[in-house]
Amino acid sequence: MPYLGGEETVRELRRALSNPNVQSDPLRYRNTILKVIRTMSQGVDVSGLFSEMVKACATVDVVQKKLVYVFLCSYATLNPELSLLVINTLRKDCQDPNPMVRSLALRNMTNLRLPSLVEYVEQPLTAGLRDRAACVRRVAVLGWAKLHNLHPSSEIDAAVVNELYSLLRDPDPVVMVNCLRALEEILKEEGGIAINKPITHHLLNRLKECDIWGQSEVLRVLQRYRPQSEDELFDILSLLDSFLVSPHPPVMAATLSLFLSISSNLPVISLAALERVSGPLLAACGSGSREMRFAAVCHIQLLLRSVPGLLGPHYKRFFCGYAEPAYIKERKMQVLVELVNDENVAMILDELKGYCTDVNTDTAQAAISAIGRIGRSYSDRCLQILTGLLGLKQDHITSAVVQTMRDLVWVCPQCSDTVCLALDGCEETLQDIQGRQALLWLLGVYGERISTAPYTLEVLIDRVRSEASLGIKMELLTATMRLFLCRPAETQDMLGRLLHYCIEEETDMCVRDQALLYYRLLHCGIEKTREVLQGRRSDPSLGVLIGRPAKPVSQWARCFNTLEPLSQGAVEAESDSRGSPEHVTYNSKPNADLSDTLSCSHIEEVHSGSDSAMRCSDSSTNVLASSIAAPLSLSLSPAVSPEDFEHLWLQRQALHTERGNEMEGYIEN
Amino acid sequence: MISQVFILSSKGDHLIYKDFRGGAGNDIVSIFYEKVTALTGDQPPVVMNHKDIYFVHIRQGGLYWVATTTAGSSPFTITEFLNRLAALVKDYCGSLSEKSVQMNFALIYELLDEIVDYGYIQTTSSDVLKNFIQTEAVTSRPFSLFDLSNVGLFGAETQQSKVAPSSAATRPIQSSREQGGKSEIFVDVIERMTVVIGSNGLLMKADVEGEIRVKCYMPSCSEMRIGLNEEFSIGKSQLRGYGAAVRVDECSFHQAVRLDEFDSHRILRLCPSQGEQTVMQYQLSDDLPSALPFRLFPTIERDNGGRLLMYMKLRCDLPPKSAAINVCATIPVPKGSVSLSQELSSPDQSAELKPQSRAVVWKIARFAGGTQLSALFKLEVPSLSSASMLEVGPVGLSFELPKITATGLQIRFLRLSPIQPGPSQRWVRYVTHSDSYTIRI
């Protein structure tokens, strides 16, 4: 591998290229050039051979020509002067009787990307637009787009633009599609090619002639068209119907995008299209290419937002294959959770249960949290599975189960009895921070029902000196405080030790402040402490459990058939398995609601739910500092970005001065 | 729109790099490779981004095929394009590997040049491309007729006694015209099974995805007619004939296929272009016409010494004359399993414990239909508890069933018209793979 001896190689190649013996033997000459290109694609800088390669360009051997062009296009920008030498050969080739040579010359002339050569290129390009051979016209049309992008400021001749418009009627479908692409680029500033009724109908009528790439391109451009009447709209839709169920995913997706954009104010049509497209999308989910599968599953997730019951009968298609990569499995599980209904819940849970012991810990944890989400509607069955999993005594499974249980209890308080019974003995298996935090939260909130809670805490308190995690220490403080409120006799002693350690010996300021805060809070009396610490135990926003409301199609139509659904999404579903539930359930509130929420609850917060420690101390300090008599709960407020927060804060300060009296009223609420 | 295309080896060596739009930094390839290797898991996500450059990649033949693009591009188009590119490279170079790509880089640059111009896909049809591609493919292994090592794969329906060598279909398409034209045509019926069998032995799910692939080495092929079973039917309502119907749920065809004789006689007509193409795709859910190929009867217990005993009986329900090959059962075992002792019912099986994937892998090279194999695995698990039994299973089975289609689809005949001058050979092959065959315990 010539990674190191780059210079040596270049010198050797130059010697070979300029050797007259090599030059006279076509085969040896070609092989030497091959070596140059090979060296180039290995990442060695061979730009020094430019002038030798320019000479090699003048040949009748098409293969050699192609090779030299690959080289020239890569290095032309470094050698603008020498590139002028190539132009003559290229212009001569443009007159060649062989259309292949003509198109090759034209393409590479425009690929040199040298602004200084534009004047030499324009004439052959104009001639190329009228060439007899379609392959030359294809290249010439895109050549104008390349030329325009070299000089984005300069205007392209209006005559050329007109010619490109007229070439939309070219008999060759690729020329037609290339014209669309070129015009889109050249007229970018005016918003792209003008899509009027005649052009639209012309394109639609010729759609069948194009290959799948051309079809998807045309369909994408047509998204800008707005039909003038309802009749026209339905004509277009029925014309496109066969493309909607195309076996080629790119065409199917582009057609659905077009459907959604032109029928955006006819929700019935959009929904019908979604139903129709579900067949081909499902077929893509079973495609041999795993990347295609992934794309299809991600887009199905979008569809399900609007039509939750759409694929209910096909839930088995989303069972994971055991050899599938973890990222597809995770998405499939997210889909399965959406598809659960009374008939299939047993089958789906059975399937998910199988994934919980997967070798891949990510898959196992995703399966467990999927079961937890199903548990919001079918809590008994799910809790049974989750409790069973605890018996495995494996750290990553136990941790995921405890976190899932915490999240489940937060939305379904009726599960708490089963959860409390199951927690016994978990602390021995738990290793990671998130799992232990979840356990501590549960012990604090439901301590009165878990008989061993004080002993579990005591062990942790004894070891607090060697504890490295800040989050655990904070959670431990809060849990011990909460437990003290309901079982004072058993907890008093260990709480004293913990507070003493945290205030006197702890070096971390957050923990120390928190401990001091609790200490002073205790001085205020038991009632006060209870008010602060025993807040809600469940998500107040959830009343009766209903399915997820169907969202309008317009909410996601714009990102359909883009890369967006593939790159995000995992984040969204993951958010509620991290940190304590109080801190995360609110973070998807739209901004419009913020000011309402803020003026109702007294406490504002800055950080998002990542660091529970920080926010606890912040908010509690607020409580104490503002000695308002009204009952307060801890930290039930939305996550706000710093800018939003500042904005709202300033707004509220202004309000505060105006309606200081009214505030009292709000807080009572 | 595609800005760059590059192909990397699994170790990150640059094999092919083509910049269509210009303006990308030189380090773009290394940025991609850093991102790919930084991710954990068995395969990183398909889409990654660096500022506003988006990488879409697929993995085929142990290589990374990467396209960079903008956020608004269609993932379906880009993925399909990369798949198609890999298929074309395979057609032109014969096989897909780091070595073949390295040896044929000039050919691949030429292909890329014709396929994509300025980031826009121009054509991927091999009929069009063959007029433009001039470079000849270099193959590492000379094509030899005597390479008959893997005979079992092929069912020679049209050529009764002859069997094609396994490498016959892995040669470059272009070489045919220079090497004096061995004009051959291969028609493959390939099915992939996805099956879940419940712990009570009931079938929970069975899907078959199938396709008919034509690989054509004829320099100029005229019309070809492929006759399917007469009683082939699509959908639930449409049943034909009185015999056992061959039914599929959904079926789609390549756009070049003419279906005028399909409704009456189940004949597909097409003019195949050189190289490989999928002529028909079909899919069947839940309702398989034949018995499942494999059944597993497991017994799992703990003995007094704290060992886990797994007694596995695996039955192959294929017709007696056929056989499954490369059967491999993956049995997940409890964490912390230390060692395995085994008793296998015949010498051509093997089993080993793979601690990193926490599974016992039981391999059977050839498994004749109508027979039954058994194995006794004794596992030493120091921390065995009753709950550990939950960790055993589900068993994943992978296998190949040569000469068998799960749907029963057959090719009655394969005719080329007009009759080709000179020796032309037609091969029909059937194979069913396991996509995912899961048996719960």
Interchain contact, B73 vs A38, CB within 8 Å:
no
Interatomic CA distance for residues A294 and A289, integer angstroms = 9
A595: exposed, middle or buried (Cβ count in 10 Å: 0-12, 13-18, 19+)? middle
Q: Is B15 on the interface with A (CB under 8 A)?
A: yes
Q: Is B58 on the interface with A (CB under 8 A)?
A: yes
Looking at residue A218, its pLDDT comes to: 95
Interchain contact, A388 vs B281, CB within 8 Å:
no
Q: Which residues of B touch A217 (CB under 8 A)?
A: 120
| pLDDT tens by residue, A14-33 | 888 888 888 888 888 888 99
Q: Are A101 and A62 in contact (CB under 8 A)?
A: yes
Interatomic CA distance for residues A13 and B197, integer angstroms = 63
Cross-chain CB nearest to B440 (options A38, A295, A354):
A354
Which DSSP helix (H) or strand (E) runs through A278? helix A267-285
Q: Which residues of A touch B75 (CB under 8 A)?
A: 295, 298, 561-563, 565-566
Pick the more confident residue, A651 or B241. A651
Percent of chain A whose predicted confidence (pLDDT) is above 90: 32
Nearest CA distance, A617 vs chain B (angstrom)? 35
Query: Which residues 199-218 of chain B have a CB within 8 Å of chain A?
Result: 204-205, 207, 209
Per-position pLDDT tens, chain B of length 441: 899 999 999 888 888 888 898 877 778 888 999 888 887 665 667 888 888 889 999 989 889 999 999 888 999 999 999 999 999 998 888 888 898 898 888 899 999 999 999 999 999 888 788 888 878 777 765 444 444 444 444 443 334 334 555 556 667 776 544 444 567 888 999 999 999 998 888 888 888 999 999 888 877 667 888 999 888 888 766 555 555 678 888 888 888 888 888 888 889 998 888 888 889 989 888 778 888 899 999 998 888 777 889 999 999 999 888 899 999 999 988 888 888 898 988 888 999 998 888 899 999 999 999 999 999 999 888 877 777 777 887 899 999 999 889 888 989 888 887 766 666 678 888 999 998 899 988
Interchain contact, B41 vs A212, CB within 8 Å:
no
Nearest CA distance, A56 vs chain B (angstrom)? 16
CA B286 to chain centre: 21
Q: Is B142 on the interface with A (CB under 8 A)?
A: no
Mutate to test the interface with A, among B46, B65, B116 (most CBs of A within 10 A): B46
Query: Which residues 122-141 of chain B have a CB within 8 Å of chain A?
Result: 122-125, 131-132, 134-135
Which DSSP helix (H) or strand (E) runs through A135? helix A134-150
Angle between helix B75-93 and helix A290-306 axes, rounded to 10 deg: 160
Q: Which residues of A touch B19 (CB under 8 A)?
A: 74
Nearest CA distance, B321 vs chain A (angstrom)? 29
Residues 6 or more apart whose Cβ sits within 8 Å of residue B171? B94, B139, B143, B217
Q: Which residues of B touch A279 (CB under 8 A)?
A: 250
Q: Is B332 on the interface with A (CB under 8 A)?
A: yes
Cross-chain CB nearest to B43 (options A43, A107, A325):
A325
Interchain contact, B205 vs A319, CB within 8 Å:
yes
Mutate to test the interface with B, among A242, A291, A315, A347 (most CBs of B within 10 A): A291
Chains A–B, number of C-beta pairs less than 8 Å apart: 218
Looking at residue B217, its pLDDT comes to: 81
> Among all residues of chain B, which has the CA nearest to that of A38?
B105
Looking at residue A608, its pLDDT comes to: 37
Interchain contact, B109 vs A66, CB within 8 Å:
yes
What would the DSSP string read from start to end of A455-500? HHHHHHHHTGGG---HHHHHHHHHHHHHHHHH-HHHHHHHHHHHHH
Cross-chain CB nearest to B41 (options A283, A322, A326):
A326
Q: Summarize the confidence of residues A96-105 as an average pLDDT.
A: 90
Residues 6 or more apart whose Cβ sits within 8 Å of residue A229? none
Q: Are B383 and B202 in contact (CB under 8 A)?
A: no
Q: Are A333 and A296 in contact (CB under 8 A)?
A: no
| Alpha helix segments (H runs only) across B321-386 | none
Strand duo B2-9 + B14-19: pairing: antiparallel
The CA-based angle B12-B17-B21, given to 5 degrees, is 135
Q: Which two tokens stand for residue A169?
A: 């009627």
Q: Is B43 on the interface with A (CB under 8 A)?
A: yes
Mutate to test the interface with B, among A281, A357, A395, A431 (most CBs of B within 10 A): A357
Interatomic CA distance for residues B408 and B233, integer angstroms = 11
> What one-character DSSP code corresponds to residue B258?
B
Q: Which residues of B touch A286 (CB under 8 A)?
A: 194, 207, 209, 283
Looking at residue B51, its pLDDT comes to: 82
Q: Are B2 and A216 in contact (CB under 8 A)?
A: no
Residue with tokens 């393409």: A107
Q: Are A382 and A372 in contact (CB under 8 A)?
A: yes
Looking at residue B240, its pLDDT comes to: 52
Q: Is B388 on the interface with A (CB under 8 A)?
A: yes
Interatomic CA distance for residues A214 and A181, integer angstroms = 10
- Which three-class secondary structure state does DSSP give residue B171? coil
| Alpha helix segments (H runs only) across B146-223 | 175-178
Pick the more confident residue, A548 or A635. A548
Question: Which of A340, A324, A245, A257 has its CA nearest to residue A292?
Answer: A324
The arrangement of strands across the sheet holding B2-9 comes to: B14-19, B2-9, B63-69, B53-60, B47-50
- Which three-class secondary structure state does DSSP give residue B198? coil
